[in-house]
Structure 1
Amino acid sequence: MADASETFVIIGGGLAGAKAAETLRGEGFTGRVVLIGDEREHPYERPPLSKGYLTGKDERGSAFLHEPDFYARAGIELHLGVPATAIDRERKTVRTADGTSFRYDKLLLATGAEPRPLDIPGTGLAGVHQLRRLPDADRLRGTLASLGRDNGHLVIAGAGWIGLEVAAAARGYGAEVTVVEPEPTPLHRVIGPELGQFFRELHAERGVRFRFGTRLTEITGQDGTVLAARTDDGDEHPAHAVLAAVGAAPRTALAEAAGLEIAGPAEGRGIAVDTSLRTSDPDIHAAGDVASAQHPLLGTRLRVEHWANALNGGPAAARAMLGQDVSYDRVPYFYSDQYDLGMEYSGWAPPGSYDQVVLRGDAGRRQFLAFWLKERRVLAGMNANVWDVTDDVQKLIRSGAPVDPEALADPSTPLTAVLPHP
């Protein structure tokens, strides 16, 4: 167990880092806690940036995790607006851009991810957006309101979760929306074509235009302002604003420079951690978007970029730093709000991993559950406008037991009765 003379340093002022700091105090740690963040804002959650705050339903303050005085009351030292620049593992120090050096006994890396840029001409024009940080949402919210007033056009590069949520928000303001996506359906690499088609229809019914199988090649403008976006099929689309929503890359530069192990697929390699979120250095942990974790339940290395992973991973890492026995085996979970659709997804079932999709309910009425199965075992489940079923869905996933697909599809059969009883 840690003692009062120790210093724990957290790099990353987002949800994972802030929840880790909060947990250290909640678990009784009385030593020094230092939280370093490169943003000037106090720690905040990211879902409101593409949901309630962006749509205008919620105030800006709804995104913040705590009241500003929470950190001083908890004895958490905030060092905001000055990024960490180097880790010296031999001396056990962290250096920041202003030349300050912090010695640590334990270190947590919660550096998150950053949007992948569009590597095409025209991205420097006014009206080209990305959405990762609160100031991005401030700017984009104003743009969407302006587009709605002026019947303007928004082109979105990417039909992932951010792209679709922004498309829904833009239509809510009255803007015209075109989504450009190289895959054949939205969310193709996340939920596959079967449910990807559902989201395509959801947005098409609200007037969103899709261009599948294409990529943006150039953004054109005049006097620094966006006028159009060109795609590799030769088309030109009117645009008064463009959103780059082509994914995020984990921020591993600090870890790599410090010689920590990096693992995972090439397009999203993260800091390698074990089931207790410990890196290749026993005094350094990693959590949130940047961590590529060995998942004890799924039996694979996984990097999860969703809110719940930061919410739960930060506290798990904090407990492990305190010497507690931790096995981080949370079922991956995320949620999305688009128009009048609210959905939750649990599990992990990328295309190619499953052999059957089972629907329960009425997809036409936007009220159903979907399950991804492999050899009759539930890999993942999604509930759309059906509530209070996440625990049961996750129990199906955790069981690893074969189920009866017909019972799974039957709304009259409780989910709790689908699993075979011993």
Structure 2
Amino acid sequence: MKTRAVRLHGVNDLRIEEFELPPIKDNEILAKVVTNSICMSDHKAAEQGAAHKRVPDDVAKNPIILGHEFCGEIVEVGKLWQDKFSAGDRFSIQPALNYKGSLDAPGYSYRWIGGNSQYIVIPSEVMEMDCLLPYRGDAFYLGSLSEPVSCIIGTYKAMYHTTGGSYVHDMGIVEGGNLAILAGVGPMGLGAIDYAIHNDVRRPGLVVVTDIDDARLKRAESLYTVQDAKKHGVKLVYLNTKDVPDATAALMDVTDGIGYDDVLVMAPVRALVEQADAILAKDGCLNFFAGPNKTDFSAALNFYNVHYAAHHLVGTSGGNTEDMRDSLALMEQGKINPVSMITHIGGMDAVPQAVIDLPNIPGGKKLIYVDIKLPLVAIDEFGARAGTDPLFKKLHELVTKNNGLWSPEAEKYLLANSPRY
């Protein structure tokens, strides 16, 4: 079968190419990809090429298909897996296979599987590691978001706390405790707010979300309201720290000087890490969620408090398969809705330049429908295009009805009415 895909050949060498997929073996599965969301990790893979830990050394000779946040439908199942999977099943994939200790992952390492391809061959190791996950939701884009949401779920699970005199770590945030999400209104920060309020495992009593951009904070507050958080037993506070003379003191004041049991740092900024350290309560846990590009990134920490106040430091860079299952289940049940992460829509033709320019494109997740022709367009620009393009006129109407957010109805209309390859 022929497919069209975005393939990485080397440093920032991304090409849209049509090529023949090999016939599937008895232990493989043929699938159609519908959506893939672009991740900053895609940008890093393109920026580094063969120097990236997950990208093969011979990528110039054997290019890989880029993209690891994808969702689609199974087309054909090899004999070995026919008792577990069927044609027509919707799926998402956990890309961190950890197969026999290897770093190889779909979207980084494979010739025949990646999110930016119309069709893919799913290799046996994906099924062997139980990383081909059924998705029963209505909208494909939520299946694509299950991977980034799983990273957020993993972050909450990685937090830990202790009891004096015991060496046992109590995993997870403090239930009913104080949580701060610093630089928390980017796409992953919004997901972290959603999960803090709506998860059914542990909820904090207080969530304080900071940023230095009023517009971004107001958008976050319109999506995750103080009133809704209160209904779920959470006090939610949004705080712009840009013009506050002493932001650390202001954050401490919200807790009456107690500090925060859990702090998530969502941007790789030294001052932000040091602020997070300064607001920790006794036995507080700081999670450095943001992945820095620089290998020498560092910040000062108060080791007096590490010793005498039992401060902890952790870092998470992804979720595991259990986290993805939790993510899919919460979305299927309607308990969380990470659609707020998505700010741009595009087709496959938009992928190469979007990946290369990603740090300079404002907004959140860039969602790609791989089988259609469409430039990358911000959702809040649909209205400006509505006067000259009937496709965007209808899409603008649909997202306006959904508080300016992408929706299952918008997805169905796009798939039915967009030009295809």
Q: TM-score range by the shorter chain?
A: 0.3 to 0.5
Structure with the larger strand share: 1
TM-score for both structures, normalised by structure 2: 0.35
